[in-house]
Structure 1
Amino acid sequence: MFQDFNFKLVVVEKLMYDDEVLAPPFRIADVLPSDDPWQYAYDRGLAYQVLPEARAYFSALEIAPALLATVDELVMDGGLRVYQECAPVWDGEDALFDIGSLADLALLPNLRRVLGSEFLGRELQAELAARGIAAD
């Protein structure tokens, strides 16, 4: 359904961690053989990467169109919880979670505002504006 994994993560943040309507909330610690996600990532050379377990979970996660229709605002910020669950060792200083495409906007018919849109770059900000979506 989603073409851009990182865009999907921003939508998941809204529905799972903010609105709490996409349940249960994913916790990387629940699916690892270790109770220390940081150590797990470091021991396997996965620091500053999306852990395979998180990528598999979020890639397979289906979100009903009715839930997607409830999304009217998205927040883009390096401190999103979904990013912490995907990459427990990540400092926000690279392009790991950069959104490359807004093709998935069609899945969010009621999206009206994107906060933190400066993280998208000029081209994607212009695409939001062309669709009548406020880019703050």
Structure 2
Amino acid sequence: MGILDKLFGNKIDNQKSIEIDFTKNGIIINGQGIQLPVKTSILNDIFGEPEQVKNETNLIFIWQDKGIRGFTKDGQNVFEIDIQLMNINQTQFFPQLAFSGILKIEGTAYKDFIKITQNDYIFKEYKIGNLQLQVTLTKEEPKSIRSISADQPEVEDLINEYANIQKSSASTIEFTDFNFKLAIIQELMYNKELLRPKFDIYEFAKIKKIEGFIEVNGGYEPIAEVVDYFKALEIDKNLAEQVTEIYQDGGNEIYMNVTPQWDEEDDIFNIQSFEDIKHFPNLKKMTLFETNSEIFEELKSKGIDANPL
């Protein structure tokens, strides 16, 4: 008996004996844990030899009688597992039979975990630990769950996402005041979700291995790596017209990401220069940390309804 047989037992011949649980600690298959990406040899040892089909971007492993697919780019590592819960007979890229084993999410039957409402489109997404789950629903009403797929973005992918810092093909805004830029980022990245990726300090700190950063105890001062990131972030001039209001508040996501434990008792994020207003023709309203009445009068003379927080 090989080592994989000792770990997983014999290959599963009866799909009804398969139990899969998507958990925050990984995927549990019949009591054994795996992490994505997973070696194809491990899945083959569990499910048997799959049929292989190539599409434009990936090689697909299809376990026809088990309702399971695995996606791989190199043929050696499966980065996504897809559980088909309904028969789809019209294409070679799907299993012949639907999955009829036991499927759970965090120990709960998937049908109880996933709540379908009338407002749902044909996709729902969940994040379970490091797993990204995509639930595909039928178009017909009442909607049913057609499939559930799981993947786990590799750290390298996340590093690349942050490293790219959204380079623009068009001209970008040159800011005079960094705190003004942070207020604009709050509006475009977190309020309107027009800047990607949406920055998350805890994810960023883990990826960048920021020394001394601790979620609970760290971040009382601006984190240098985060400041550098936002200074380098380019904002396309085409987005300027989307900004109609700036609202500075101590609970804004931008400040909680730059200085996670900020107590709002200093003026570290006060805007020092309002010269950058010239870039934003539709900016008509500002709520600011500032308390200097002369500044508010000057802003109002420029046609901006400006008030202190």
Q: TM class by shorter-chain length?
A: 0.7 to 0.9
Residue 290 of structure 2: aligned partner = 119
Aligned to 1:22: 195
Cα-to-partner distance string for 1:108-130 (whole Å, 9 max, x where unaligned):
1110111x236352232122111
Q: How many residues align?
A: 129
Which has the higher relative contact order, 1 or 2, with Cα contacts under 8 A spaced 6 or more apart? 1
CA distance in structure 2 between the aligned counterparts of 1:117 and 1:28, rounded to whole angstroms: 24
Match status 1:10 vs 2:188: no
Aligned to 2:261: 89
CA distance in 1, matches of 2:279, 2:196: 19
Correspondence for 2:53: none
Give the conservation status (yes or no) of the 8 Å contact 1:7–1:102: yes
CA distance in 2, matches of 1:95, 1:85: 17
Q: Secondary structure at the match of 1:78?
A: coil
CA distance 1:84–1:118, shift in 2 (3 Å)? closer
What is residue 59 of structure 1 aligned with on the other side? 231
Name structure 2 gaps, 5 residues minimum.
Answer: 1-173
Indicate the percent of aligned positions where both proteins have the same amino acid: 36
2:183–2:248 Cα contact (<8 Å) kept: yes
Question: How many angstroms apart in 2 are the aligned matches of 1:118 and 1:84?
Answer: 15
Q: What corresponds to 1:39 in structure 2?
A: 217
1:75 aligns with 2:253: no
Distance in 1 between residues matched to 2:256 and 2:293, nearest whole Å: 26
Maintained 8 Å contact 1:10/1:75? yes
Give the conservation status (yes or no) of the 8 Å contact 1:31–1:53: no
Bigger radius of gyration: 2
Q: 1:97 to 1:129 in 2, by over 3 A?
A: same
Aligned to 1:44: none
Give the structure with the larger helix fraction: 1
Q: SS where residue 119 of structure 1 aligns? A: coil
Q: Which residue identity lines up with residue 3 of structure 1 in the other structure?
A: T
The CA distance in 2 between the partners of 1:79 and 1:120, in whole Å, is 18
* Contact kept? 1:71, 1:111, Cα under 8 Å: yes
CA distance in 2, matches of 1:118, 1:54: 21
Structure number with higher strand proportion: 2
Q: Which residue of 2 aligns with 1:134?
A: 305
| Matched letter for residue 53 of structure 1 | E
Unaligned runs of 5+ in 1: 42-46
The separation in 2 between residues aligned to 1:76 and 1:132, in whole angstroms, is 19
Q: Cα distance 1:117–1:95, how it changes in 2: closer, same or farther (>3 A)?
A: closer
Quick check: 1:68–1:107 contact (8 Å CA) kept in 2? yes
Question: Which TM-score applies when normalising by structure 2?
Answer: 0.40
